[in-house]
Structure 1
Amino acid sequence: MDFETLVGSRRSTRGYQQQPVSKELMVEIVDLAQRAPSSMNTQPWNFHVVTGPPLEQIRKGNTERMLAGAAVDREIKMADHGYQNEHRERQVEIAVQLFEAMGIERHDKERRQDWVMRGFRQFDAPVSVVVTLDRALADDTIAHFDCGAATYGLVLAATSKGLGCVINGQGIMQSSVVREHAGIPEDEVIMTCVAMGWPDPDFVANDVVSRRVANDDTAAYIGFGE
């Protein structure tokens, strides 16, 4: 497909068929993702592609710890105050869209909690790609930017191959669990993970398209003679 169609067809997939994804296909996807640009060609990213029993252990550990009330154990820094103002409004808006699609009522605490736990289970996807950053560049925000570019490349590459995926910060909330079962070396920092697999066509939330801010509200065009 052409690039415009590819970008427009990408969705955050939160429901998957329990059908395995081959290593050969994942190699193709990672090869494409690694064509992402990086500052001075540093290529500071790493991809740990996890499936099978190790992924099940990650799901189990994340779920058990979060249900037990464990503190968040993420290696990448988060804002102390959480999202605020327009960023919080956008976060709430997509949650409302998803809950409406799934028929989850505001008062239905059980289904709301189950939805949150799906994130900690990496949405029960057959594959999770844990994206890490070389620790030598952990304090270099340019490297963070590069890592984000590679992650978006990973998502587009997966979409181009017919897979669904969602960038999922909940999946690394207990990063020590992820590190243990994915065998991630100590000289890498866990940044995020991407749940990935064949989309479930009957999972209605997969059809939700998040609303985007208008072009005029995010971009300035200077020097065009208008």
Structure 2
Amino acid sequence: MDFEEVFNKERVTRKFTNRRVNEKLIAKIVEKAQQSPSLLNSQPWRAYTLMGEPLEELKKASKENIEAGVKANEDFASMLSLNWDTFPSQNMATMGASQTYFFRNKLNLFTKANNEMFNAPAIVFLTIPKTSPAWSVFDLGIFAQSIMLLAIDNGLSIMPAHSLVSYPDLVRKYARIPEGEMVGMAIGLGYPDKSAEVNDLKYVPDRVPFEKIYKLTK
């Protein structure tokens, strides 16, 4: 697939079909993503894919936590400051307001899909060591982006979601992740359910004006 086409197709899928994803294809994608650059070639990332019964057990346990009102306790929350600067805070406020307007009374569709982990038949959980510096978070982001672009190039749809790592202890349990690793991000992989109304809600937030983020000095 042409790179421009792959890049432009990078949009989330909010509900997947039950169609199984070839595990060898996922391994191929992650292996290729290993070519991503990292600080001093540290390659701090690890990838754990959950499918089948272990994934269904995680989905069930996670949903039980949500319904019981268990507060999310993401691993990265203990590592990074959550006090956002004014500039990104304004962008997030705009996103929240426009998203609520866009979804209107259909926000419940997204909430339901979110609580069910988007029915993803495969989820790749990405980790870095707990002793990592902030640079490793940057490296993990590059690795994640590589996985997503490669997945799209191989005919898969994606869903990177903060909510998928809300309960890292559960993720560690079912994905058999060592205690010494932080669960940073997760990417749902699969094929879009074209009959799902939640996938018809096409929302593409506006981008900050280019001149606000780019400066040239020469």
- Normalised by the length of structure 1, the TM-score is 0.85
Identity of aligned residues (%): 26
What is the CA distance between 1:204 and its match in structure 2? 4.8
* Cα distance between partner residues in 2 of 1:84 and 1:177: 30
Q: Is residue 11–residue 209 contact of structure 1 (8 Å, CA) maintained in 2? A: no
User: 1:182 aligned to 2:208?
Assistant: no
Distance 1:37 1:190 in 2: 20
Corresponding residue number in structure 1 for 2:126: 131
Q: What does 1:39-78 correspond to in 2, within 5 Å?
A: 39-77=39-77
Match of residue 157, structure 2, among 164, 172, 177: 164
3-state SS, counterpart of residue 75 of structure 2: coil
Partners of 1:214 and 1:162 in 2: how far apart? 31
Q: Which whole-Å CA distance do the structure 1 matches of 2:43 and 2:82 have between them? A: 29
Give CA deviations for 1:101-138 in whole Å, capped at 9, x if unaligned.
Answer: xxx51xxxxx645532422322111001001012231x
- In the other structure, the counterpart of 1:219 is 214
AA at the equivalent of 1:221: L
Deviation of the 1:158 alpha carbon:
0.7
Q: Which amino acid aligns with 1:133?
A: I
- 2:204 alignment counterpart: 210
Go from structure 1 to structure 2 and tell me whether the alpha carbon gap of 1:202 and 1:113 turns closer, same or farther (over 3 Å shift).
closer
What amino acid does structure 2 have at the position aligned with 1:131?
A: L
Aligned length: 211
CA contact (8 A) 1:63 1:117 kept: no
The DSSP-based 3-state class of the residue aligned with 2:123 is: strand
CA distance in 2, matches of 1:162, 1:168: 20
Among candidates 84, 91, 95, match of residue 86 of structure 1: 91
Structure 2 vs 1, CA of residues 95 and 25 (structure 1 numbering), >3 Å: closer, same or farther? farther
Match of 1:37 in 2: 37
For the Cα contact (< 8 Å) 1:6–1:159, is it kept in 2? yes
Give the superposition deviation at 1:173: 0.7
Mean Cα deviation higher: 205-214 or 36-45: 205-214
Paired amino acid for 2:137: H
Specify whether residues 58 and 96 from structure 1 end up closer, same or farther in structure 2 by C-alpha distance, changes over 3 A only. farther
The answer to whether the Cα contact below 8 Å between 1:163 and 1:197 also exists between their aligned partners in 2 is yes
**How far apart in 1 are the matches of 2:52 and 2:5?**
32
The residue that corresponds to 2:139 in the other structure is 146
Find the aligned partners of 2:183 and 2:28 in 1 and give their Cα distance: 22
Q: Distance in 2 between matches of 1:209 and 1:150?
A: 25
Question: What are the ranges of 5 or more consecutive residues in structure 2 without an aligned counterpart?
Answer: none
Specify whether residues 217 and 202 from structure 1 end up closer, same or farther in structure 2 by C-alpha distance, changes over 3 A only: farther
Give the corresponding residue for 2:2.
2
Does the Cα contact within 8 Å between 1:44 and 1:143 map onto a contact in 2? yes
Q: Provide Cα deviations, 1:42-90, integer angstroms capped at 9, x if missing partner.
A: 0000110101111111111111111111121211116556883222212
1:47 is aligned with what amino acid? A
- Two-structure CA RMSD over aligned residues (Å): 2.1
